[in-house]
Structure 1
Amino acid sequence: MRFLGKLLDRVEQIFVGLALLAITSLLFINVILRYFFSSTLSWAEEASRYGVVWIVFIGASICVCKGSHIVVDALTAKLSARWQRPFALGVTFFSILFCCVFTILSLRLTLRIAEFGQMSTTLGIPMLYVYGAMPVGGALMTLRYAQQAWRLLRGKETLT
């Protein structure tokens, strides 16, 4: 189980890193082409936008794993040590529920987009691939919150 978690960590991080590198390179090349050769890659900005969509949703999963999401801990700080872990567990279960609902609804939307056969304007790719970032990211966040809940239940998760 730990091996799969670490593998998922690496895959997410490599994906986000490579996507960011590709977007940066693509936009840099497009700027060079525009200013020095009076030409552009017509599809570069659209591809970059779609890449950022994927980075955001995969990055959200990474943030769940690392505990990097913004947290308002005013209530948690006021609780006694005895109640902090149960409260954190409740918040984590609520997050799992939210991510499950988000994943299901975004999957429905993605399937509907696929059913209509909507294509991107410049790239000409099915919008299914763009909208697919939502259910994939939602499922990954659900998995990450489930891992966090498991660690909280076992007493392995540190409360900050």
Structure 2
Amino acid sequence: MAGSQTEKYPGSHVGRVGYYIQMLVKLLDGIFAVLAVSALLAIAVVVIIQIVSRFLLPTSPIWTEELSRYLFIYLIVMSSGLIVRKNLHVRLELFQSALSPFWGKVYDIFCHLMVGGFALYILPYSIKYAQIGRWQTSPALEVPMYWSFLSVCFFFALTAFYSFVCIVLLFLERDDQGVLR
């Protein structure tokens, strides 16, 4: 019976609930990856416009530098969840390879718990920070700074979400016989 569960959900060692969580996370990964790539391409276009205008036009547009800065910020934000999910964030890996599989899993859970807990702790403060931007506009684009400041909220929300999803998937992880590890 345990083997049938892993056969029913191919490539999944986390069972039915974990499989559906993985499918949701893959969908979100795709959305955030597309947004991050779009921001990167937009940065490239804006920087090319700035370079071309500096050399070929009498004046260059002042909005290009500001827009590229905001796009770069959102590029980082949209990539943050993907970094956490793939365990590419900064953490101490010096002794992790020496740990047994059980203690390695405990260490992974601990790291995700610390990162997610910190992100949840900071999230209310980031919301207050974003409120400051309601009364300001950007100098060149004249858009509310709220959207720039809101990037901090998105960053901590995505980091917390992906950290806790990783914890759930680690708890639901099964071995080759379908037994919880």
State TM-score, norm by structure 2: 0.78
- Give the Cα separation in 2 of the matches to 1:82 and 1:42: 55
The RMSD of aligned alpha carbons is 1.8
The reply on whether 1:106 has 2:126 as its aligned counterpart is yes
1:97 is matched with: 117
- Give the Cα separation in 2 of the matches to 1:152 and 1:47: 39
With CA pairs under 8 Å and 6+ residues apart, which has the higher RCO, 1 or 2? 2
- Give the Cα separation in 1 of the matches to 2:75 and 2:44: 13
- Give the Cα separation in 2 of the matches to 1:20 and 1:134: 18
For residues 114-153 of structure 1, the aligned pairs below 5 Å read: 114=134, 117-153=135-171
The reply on whether 1:3 has 2:20 as its aligned counterpart is no
2:9 is matched with: none
1:58 is matched with: 78
For residues 41-52 of structure 1, the aligned pairs below 5 Å read: 41-52=61-72
**Larger-Rg structure:** 2
Give structure 1 stretches of 5+ with no counterpart: none
- C-alpha deviation, 1:81, in angstroms: 3.9
- Give the Cα separation in 2 of the matches to 1:86 and 1:142: 18
Correspondence for 2:33 among 5, 9, 13? 13
Number of matched residues? 155
1:25 is matched with: 45
- Give the Cα separation in 2 of the matches to 1:156 and 1:8: 23
Q: Residues 108-127 of structure 1, C-alpha deviation per residue, up to 9 Å, x if partnerless?
A: 1102332xx11111111110
Query: Match of 1:71, as an amino acid?
Result: R
- C-alpha deviation, 1:155, in angstroms: 2.4
Give structure 2 stretches of 5+ with no counterpart: 1-20, 176-181
Query: Match of 1:146, as an amino acid?
Result: F
Contact 2:49 2:64 survives alignment (8 Å):
no
- C-alpha deviation, 1:101, in angstroms: 1.6
Identity, in percent, stands at 22
Q: Residues 24-63 of structure 1, C-alpha deviation per residue, up to 9 Å, x if partnerless?
A: 1111011111101222111000010011111112212111
- C-alpha deviation, 1:78, in angstroms: 4.2
Query: Match of 1:69, as an amino acid?
Result: H
- C-alpha deviation, 1:67, in angstroms: 1.7
Question: Once superposed, which parts of structure 1, at least 4 consecutive aligned residues long, lie more than 3 Å away?
Answer: 77-82
